[in-house]
A and B are shown apart, each in its own frame.
Chain A
C-alpha cells in the first residue's frame, strides 16, 4: 500500500495480522492455502447436498421429491460446484500450502495476486448459487451448457455466465502464480528433475489451465452474445452450428478433466513411497508420462461427441488418440504398484486412501477405455455408464487423493496428529459406500438408463435403490471427515517434524506446524 511507512516495510518476520482482516488482506501462502481448502470443503458439502437430492429423487421411479426442472438444475449445479468450487480450489489450496515448502521458496511468486485469485471464488459462487432465486431458476442444461438448451435459461443466465468468467479469472491467475513460482522461486540446487512429483504435476496442470480456461471464456461469451446480442455462432439459421459449441467447449473440457486428476497423481506419488518406505519407482518416467497425458489431452476432445454426427475419419482419429492416453496412465499405475513391491508397507489413513485411489481410479480408467471405443460408445453414450465412469475417476480418484493429501499433510500444517482410528473408519465406510453408490450405475447404464433424468422405467429400480442407499451413507460419512479435520486443528497428539517415518522432502525438514514465514533464507538442496 502506498500509505505504508518505511518502518513497516522494514519490519522483519512479523506474524499474522490480528482479527478477520488477516484473512482478507493476507499475502501469506499458508493462509491462502487454508482459505482455499476451507472454501473447497464448504463447496464439497454444498455440491454433496445437491447429490443427495438427486439420489433421493432417484430412490424410486416416479416423481417424489422435486420437480424435473429443479432436478435438472441439481445435476447441473452439482457438477459446476464440485468441479470449479470443490476439486479445483482444493488442489489450488494444496499447491499454495505445499509448493513453496517443497521447492524451498518463502512464498508464492505473486502473493497479492494469490489473494485476489482466492477471494474472487466466494463472489463467483455466490453469483452462481443466487440464480436459484431468480425467475426461471438455476442453470439446468447440464454443466456443459450446450446450446440451444442452455440459452433457454431464465434471468439467471447472464449471472451464471459471469460467475464462470470470474471462476475462470481466478483459475488463470492462480495458475500463472503457480507456474511462475515453480520456474522462478526454486531454492539453489532444486533442479527441475529433483522437484517432487506434486510440483511437476501442478506445473503441467497450471499450463493446461492457462491454455484452456480462456477458451471456455470464449465459448461462454459466445453463448452470452448469442442470447443477448443477436449473434449466430450456434444457430444453423444464421450459418453457425450448435455442434461448434461442443467442439470449443470440449477443447477446454478435456484438458479440464486432466486438470482435475494430474495433481492427484502428484499426491499419490508422494504418499506411496512414504508408506512403502521406498523411493518412487521410475521418477523420470512419471514426469514424461504426465507431460504426455497433458499433450494428448489437447487432441482427444471430440470423444465426448461421438454420437453428434462427425465425419468417420474424425471418429477414428479421436478414438485412437484417446486410447493412446492409456499408455502413459498405465505407466503411472505400474510405477505406483512397483513402488509398493517388496516395500515395508504400513497402512495409515493416507496410504489407505492412496491405495483406494490406485485401485478405483484404475477401474474408472478402464471404463473410460470402453467409452473411447467409438462404435461401443454409441451404446453407452449419455447413459449411467458414463456417470459411473467419471465418478470413479473423480470421486474415488480426485476426491480420494484430496482426502489422502489432507490426512497426509494435516499433521504438518497443524502440528497435531489426526485421530487415526476415526480416519480409518472414515476410509472404510467411504470406500464400501462409494462402491455401493457407483458400481451399480455401470449396470444401469449398460441396461440403457439415460443420465440426467428425474424418473426412469421400473426395470431400473433395484440398482437405483442400492445406489441411493450407498449415496446416502457416503454423503453422511463425509461429515466424519469434516469432524476429523476440525478435531485435528483444535488439538491432538503432537506431530514430529518428519511426521511420517518414511517421509522425504523439504517440507518435512520444517517444524510442525511450520512458522508463518518459512525459507526466508534459501535452503541448499544437494
Chain B
C-alpha cells in the first residue's frame, strides 16, 4: 500500500529479508566449517556469498525501482538518511573496539609486561625488554620489521584525502544539475579508491614476503592487520558502492533535489577516510 504526498508510505511485504537471512546463515555455516578445517567449508561460504550478492542486487534493485516510480516521499527520504547515519555510527563503534585494543596494548599491557607497576615482568617474562612495536615476550611469529609511515601509507593518505575532495566536487556538480561532471568526478573517486586498494595489497604482499610481518606477529601484527584489514574491507565496499552510484548517475537516476543514495555513499566514503586518518596516525606514524 503506497501512500504518497501528504500520506504516510508503508511498503508492501517482501521476500528479500528472508532470502538475506538464509544467505547469511549459509555464509557463516560455510565460514565456520572452513575454520574447523572441513574441506566443504570454502565452497559453502562461496555459495553463501553468491546468495548475499544476489539478495543485494534484488533488494536494492527493488528499492531503486520504487524510488524511480516516485513512491518515496520526503519522510521516507529522511528515514533513509537517519538510518544511514546511525549505521555509520555503529561502524565507528566497531572500529573503536579495535582501536581500543591497540591503545590498551600500547599504553597499558605492553608496559606492564615490561615491568611497569606490576610484577608480571619479574615473575613471568624476565628478559623481555622490547617496547612497541613488539610481538611479545614469546617472540610470536619471529622477528619482523614494520612498514614506515612516509612511504606508501603517506601516499595512500593523500589518495584518500583527494578522493574526499573529488566526491564533494561530484556532489556540487550534481546539485548544479551537471550530469557529465557528476559522473566524471565519481569516476575519479573510484579510481583513487582503487589505487589505494592496489597500494594496500602491494603493501600486504611486501609485509608478508619481505618483512615477515604477518597476522601472527604478536600483538603488533594482530592490531596492524585487523585494523588495516577491516579498513581495507570497508574501502572495498565503499568502492563498490561508488561504482553503483556512478552507473546510476550516468543513467540519470539522481536529481539535484533527490539523491539519497549518492549522499549515503558519500557519507560512507568520508567515514572510511576519517578512519584511515586515525589509522595513519596511530598505527603508522606514532
Task: Give the interface of A toward B (CB within 8 A).
Answer: 1-2, 4, 6, 8-14, 17, 21-22, 24-27, 105-107, 109-113, 115-116, 119-120, 123, 127, 155, 158-159, 161-162, 165-166, 169, 172, 175-177, 179-180, 183-185, 210-215, 217-219, 221-222, 224-225, 227-233, 235-241, 243-244, 247-248, 251, 309, 311, 517, 519-522
Contact = CB atoms under 8 A, between A and B. Distances in A.
Nearest to A520: B8
A4 B71 CA distance: 13
B256 interface: no
A193 B96 CA distance: 32
A176 B134 contact: no
A241 B222 contact: no
A22 B13 CA distance: 8
Contacts of B80: 110
Interface of A is mostly: helix
Interface stretch (B87-95, B155-163, B264-272): B87-95
Given A2-B62, A239-B110, A248 B11 contact: no
B40 interface: no
B125 A111 contact: no
Interface string B7-29: 11011111111101110110011
B145 interface: no
B117 interface: yes
Contact of B12 (A8, A177, A235, A519): A8
Interface residues of B, number: 81
B219 A233 contact: yes
A27 B28 contact: no
Contact of A158 (B13, B32, B108, B135): B32
Interface of B: 1-3, 7-8, 10-18, 20-22, 24-25, 28-29, 31-32, 35-36, 58-59, 61-62, 65, 69, 71, 75, 78-80, 82-83, 86-87, 89-91, 93-98, 100-101, 104-105, 108-110, 112-113, 117-118, 120, 124-125, 134-138, 140-141, 214-216, 218-223, 225-226
Given A185-B75, A240-B105, A244-B105, A232 B140 contact: yes
B18, B24, B79: most-surrounded residue (chain A CB, <10 A): B79
Contacts of A217: 94, 97
13 contacts: A106-B8, A112-B16, A119-B17, A119-B18, A158-B32, A159-B29, A162-B28, A180-B83, A183-B82, A210-B89, A215-B93, A236-B113, A239-B110
Nearest to B28: A162
B10 A214 contact: no
Given A210-B86, A520-B8, A244 B78 contact: no
A232 B41 CA distance: 24
Contacts of B22: 123
Given A9-B69, A119-B17, 5 more contacts: A27-B12, A112-B17, A233-B222, A238-B219, A517-B1
Q: Identify which of A107, A214, A228 gathers the most chain B CB atoms within 10 Å of its CB.
A: A214
